[in-house]
Amino acid sequence: MNTILLDMGISELFSNYYKKKNIAHFANIVRIAKSDNTIDPEELQLLKKIAKKYNIEEAEYKDILKQPDDYPTLGSIEEEERIERLYDLIMMVDADHNQSIQEIKVLRKIVTGLSFPLKRVDAIIDLTLKIDIENCDLEQFKQKILKLTHSS
pLDDT band, residue 1 (cuts 50/70/90): very low
Cα gap 29→84, rounded to integer Å: 13
CATH of the domain at 71: 1.10.3680
DSSP label at 131? S
Cα gap 52→123, rounded to integer Å: 31
Please state the pTM of the whole predicted model.
0.82
Amino acid at 13: L
Count of the separate structural domains present in the chain: 1
Distance linking the first and last C-alpha atoms of the chain:
53
* Domain range for 29: 2-149
Give tens-digit pLDDT for 94-145: 998 889 999 999 999 999 999 898 999 999 999 999 999 989 999 999 999 9
